[in-house]
């Protein structure tokens, strides 16, 4: 590992929210050197995002010290350090009305760089990332993985000294993740300092040279990556080993969702002639690259668009709801993939988001007091290990906590059909395990669970059956005993196809 000497040191950082009620950082610190890949690990809500935002100058710590190359950064704000420290946030967003091309020019150093020169640079960097950016597409039409890719290209255009990535691979396919990681290794070798936040401990441990572990806002360890085993890391982080969910064989019952010859073409993506059926008591996963049909299917299932042809039926042949309002009335539990937009009202208190599905049960003659909502919410919060007050704003939740809240809310009131889109996004190891356990017990109680996920690892852990979507069509199907990481990955990329696991 070439060490060119420079570094960012953050020491004893404190950051409080809500007038000191929430301690996000309570003496955290990190030491990021040039030329290294540094992993930042921690439970949901442990303060990872807050810490990296402080380092990137997006948030100002309440106290503590940040040194760049040994010099105290007097006013460490974003506009000062943006040329040196690039930052890819946990939920990256492009500018909806600007094309990717326009976006990439936004942040460039105005001095020098003619258009051609800039275009050449953009091309070279995206080639290194092995990704084709849709340069002429407007920001609101760019799929999630390409948003992250665009942000990374943008960041690298400035040739920063340090690169910080907050859970960058959540929206990536395995191949994209692989490409990203090898690029990061090259960059580190060239002398860039890289800080990566992730819940995928296995991956990070392989990639990173050194690790910092965070618990409850404190840095509890900073070590060479190979000095700690996976088990040790998980034990240090949350006192459990990295176990897999305990799988029991499924015993499928009657059909609860039947999709026949479904086709839909829209500007972003399309599906063609999709048919499958889901039985009670089983977990069926549909997997693939999101814009290869997964997102289109999700939009049809949450009734925000209508299919062009084909039909969807539920148990007993009743048609699937065609209006969003009717989904919940039809007894379907659903976790959407865009949690911020469809999953919660971020501007309202946590309890208003938690109690929404049981609001009718909690109320009497149309009267619904706050106490009832609050006590219901307290239960949900403790059950799912969410550290938040029922009355605090939902927007203050960390990424993983928000996901737990949404999952918990939906699973608690689920019975028949359950549709889960990317359920493990942003969850830490422990949270994932807990959620899988709950999904399995839901299945064992006779619910039919449809899993839409682009992350194969997730799918492999709990699905009973797996269908692969490629280019809008179902190209392969696998039963649990046929699961094979490599073959499934190839099917997702359209390299091969097998059987039909219908």
Partner 1 sequence: MLNSVLSIAAPLILAAVAGYLPFRAGILNIGLEGLMALGAFFGFIAAAASGFWLMGVLAGSLAGAMAAAFFAWTVLRLEANIFLSGLGLNLAAAGFLGIASQMAFGTKGVLRPAILNTSRTFPPDHGIIPVLAAGFAFTALMLIMSKTRWGHRVIAAGEAPETLENLGHPVKMVRLQTLVLSGIGCGAAGALLALDIGAYVPNMTGGRGWIALVALYIAGKSPLGLLATVLLFSAANATATVLQGMTGIPDSLLLASPFFITFLGLVAAGALRTLAESRQRRKERDLTADEVRG
Partner 2 sequence: MTKNRRILVISGGILLLLGLVLYVSPKPLEALTDLFTDPLRTPFAFGNLMATAGILTLSGAGIAVAMTSGSFNLGGEGQAYLGSLLPVLLLLALPGAPPALMIPLGLAAGAFGGSAMGWLSGIMREKIGTDELISSYLAAGAVIPIIDYLIAVPLRDPDSYLLSTPKIAEGFRLVRLLPPSQLTSGIFLALGAALLWWFLSRYTLMGYELRLSGANPRFASLSGIRVSRYRSGGMSISGALCGLAGALMSLGVYGAAVQGGTGGIGWNGIAVALIARYRPALILPAALFFAYLTQGLSAAVMASGISNEMGLLLQAAVFIAITAGEAGKGE
Ligand X SMILES: Nc1ncnc2c1ncn2[C@@H]1O[C@H](COP(=O)(O)OP(=O)(O)OP(=O)(O)O)[C@@H](O)[C@H]1O
**Do 403 and 425 form a contact (C-beta atoms < 8 A)?**
yes
**Do 88 and 49 form a contact (C-beta atoms < 8 A)?**
no
HSE-CB of 400 using CA atoms within 13 angstroms: 28
Stretch that binds Mg ion, among 45-53, 309-317, 322-330, 482-490 (CB under 5 A): 45-53
Cβ of residue 187: shortest distance to partner 1, in angstroms?
A: 19
Cβ of residue 47: shortest distance to Mg ion, in angstroms?
A: 8
Nearer of residues 160 and 399 to Mg ion, judged by Cβ? 399
Q: How far apart are the first and last CA of the chain?
A: 50
Residue span 363-382 as binding mask against partner 2, x where in contact by CB under 8 A, dash where not = x--xxxxx------------
- Selected from 26, 62, 65, 102, the binder of partner 1 by CB under 8 A is 102
Which residue ranges make up the site for ligand X (CB under 6 A)?
A: 17-18, 22, 24, 42, 44-50, 90, 387, 396-401, 426, 428
Nearer of residues 107 and 331 to partner 1, judged by Cβ? 107
**Do 465 and 83 form a contact (C-beta atoms < 8 A)?**
no
Residue 36 CA: distances (Å) to CA of 42, 48, 209, 223, 224:
19, 18, 6, 13, 11
The CA distance from 444 to 438, in Å, is: 10
Nearer of residues 47 and 448 to Mg ion, judged by Cβ? 47
**Do 199 and 43 form a contact (C-beta atoms < 8 A)?**
no
Nearer of residues 211 and 257 to ligand X, judged by Cβ? 211
**Do 215 and 48 form a contact (C-beta atoms < 8 A)?**
no
From its phi and psi, is residue 497 left (phi > 0), alpha (psi between -120 and 50) or beta?
beta
* Contact partner at residue 270 from partner 1, Mg ion, partner 2, none, CB < 5 to 8 Å by partner kind: partner 1
Cβ of residue 158: shortest distance to partner 1, in angstroms?
A: 8
- Secondary structure of residue 304 in the 3-state scheme: coil
* Contact partner at residue 97 from ligand X, partner 1, partner 2, none, CB < 5 to 8 Å by partner kind: partner 1
Name the nearest CA neighbour of 502 among 257, 290, 318, 313: 257
| Under rule CB under 8 A, residue 263 binds partner 1 | yes
Nearer of residues 206 and 266 to partner 1, judged by Cβ? 266
Q: Kindly report the length of the chain.
A: 502
* Contact partner at residue 105 from partner 2, Mg ion, partner 1, none, CB < 5 to 8 Å by partner kind: partner 1
Cβ of residue 241: shortest distance to partner 2, in angstroms?
A: 37
Nearer of residues 35 and 47 to ligand X, judged by Cβ? 47
Residue span 36-65 as binding mask against partner 1, x where in contact by CB under 8 A, dash where not = --------------------x-x-------
Count of CB atoms within 10 A of residue 414's CB?
23
- Selected from 82, 342, 392, 413, the binder of partner 1 by CB under 8 A is 82
Residue 336 CA: distances (Å) to CA of 324, 377, 406, 418, 472:
12, 20, 9, 11, 20
Name the nearest CA neighbour of 345 among 307, 293, 388, 394: 394
Q: Burial level of 445, CB count in 10 A (0-12/13-18/19+)?
A: exposed
Residue span 286-305 as binding mask against partner 2, x where in contact by CB under 8 A, dash where not = ----------------x---
The CA distance from 129 to 255, in Å, is: 44
Site for partner 2 in 323-352 (CB under 8 A): 323-329, 334, 336, 341-348, 352
The CA distance from 113 to 145, in Å, is: 28
- Selected from 60, 93, 123, 359, the binder of partner 2 by CB under 8 A is 359
Nearer of residues 151 and 407 to partner 1, judged by Cβ? 151
- Selected from 123, 265, 359, 485, the binder of partner 1 by CB under 8 A is 265
Token pair, residue 423, equals 């359920």
| Under rule CB under 8 A, residue 100 binds partner 2 | no
**Do 44 and 399 form a contact (C-beta atoms < 8 A)?**
yes
- Selected from 399, 431, 472, 477, the binder of Mg ion by CB under 5 A is 399
Token pair, residue 25, equals 């950082």
CA 89 to chain centre: 12
- Selected from 67, 98, 135, 312, the binder of partner 1 by CB under 8 A is 98
Residues that bind partner 1 (CB under 8 A): 56, 58, 77-79, 82-83, 87, 89, 92-98, 102-103, 105-108, 110, 139, 154, 263-266, 270, 272-273, 308-309
Residues that bind partner 2 (CB under 8 A): 302, 323-329, 334, 336, 341-348, 352, 356-357, 359-360, 363, 366-370
């Amino acid at each position: 590992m070439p060490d060119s000497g420079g570094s960012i040191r953050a020491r004893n950082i404190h950051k409080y929210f809500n007038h000191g009620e929430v301690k996000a950082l309570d003496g955290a610190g990190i030491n990021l050197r040039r030329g290294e890949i540094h992993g930042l690990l921690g439970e949901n809500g442990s303060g990872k995002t807050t810490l990296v935002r402080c380092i990137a100058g997006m948030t100002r710590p309440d106290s503590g010290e940040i040194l760049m190359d040994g010099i105290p950064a007097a006013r460490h704000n974003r506009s000062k350090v943006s040329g040196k420290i690039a930052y890819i946030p946990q939920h990256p967003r492009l500018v909806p009305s600007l094309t990717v091309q326009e976006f990439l020019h936004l942040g460039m150093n105005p001095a020098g760089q003619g258009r051609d020169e800039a275009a050449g640079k953009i091309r070279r960097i995206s080639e290194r990332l092995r990704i084709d950016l849709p340069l002429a597409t407007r920001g609101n039409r760019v799929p999630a993985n390409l948003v992250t890719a665009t942000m990374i290209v943008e960041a690298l255009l400035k040739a920063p000294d340090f690169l910080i990535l907050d859970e960058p691979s959540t929206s990536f396919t395995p191949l994209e993740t692989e490409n990203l990681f090898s690029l990061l290794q090259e960059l580190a070798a060239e002398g860039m300092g890289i800080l990566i936040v992730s819940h995928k401990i296995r991956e990070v441990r392989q990639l990173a040279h050194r690790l910092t572990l965070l618990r409850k806002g404190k840095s509890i360890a900073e070590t060479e990556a190979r000095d700690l085993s996976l088990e040790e890391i998980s034990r240090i982080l949350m006192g459990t080993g990295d176990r897999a969910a305990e799988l029991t064989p499924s015993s499928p019952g009657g059909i609860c969702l039947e999709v026949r010859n479904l086709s839909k073409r829209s500007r972003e993506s399309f599906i063609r002639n999709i048919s499958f059926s889901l039985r009670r008591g089983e977990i069926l996963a549909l997997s693939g690259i999101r814009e290869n049909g997964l997102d289109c299917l999700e939009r049809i299932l949450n009734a925000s668009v209508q299919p062009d042809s084909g039909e969807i039926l539920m148990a007993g042949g009743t048609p699937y709801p065609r209006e969003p309002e009717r989904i919940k009335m039809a007894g379907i539990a659903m976790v959407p993939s865009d949690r911020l937009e469809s999953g919660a009202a971020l501007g309202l208190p946590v309890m208003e988001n938690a109690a929404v599905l049981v609001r009718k049960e909690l109320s009497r003659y149309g009267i619904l007091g706050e106490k009832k909502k609050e006590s219901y919410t307290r239960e949900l919060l403790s059950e799912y290990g969410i550290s938040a007050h029922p009355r605090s704003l939902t927007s203050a939740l960390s990424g993983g906590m928000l996901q737990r809240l949404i999952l918990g809310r939906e699973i608690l009131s689920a019975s028949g059909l359950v549709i889960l889109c990317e359920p493990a996004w942003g969850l830490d190891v422990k949270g994932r395990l807990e959620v899988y356990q709950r999904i399995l017990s839901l299945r064992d109680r006779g619910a039919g669970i449809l899993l839409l996920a682009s992350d194969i690892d997730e799918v492999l852990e709990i699905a009973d059956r797996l269908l692969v979507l490629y280019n809008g069509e179902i190209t392969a199907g696998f039963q649990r005993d046929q699961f094979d990481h490599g073959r499934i990955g190839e099917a997702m990329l359209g390299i091969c196809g097998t059987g039909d696991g219908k």
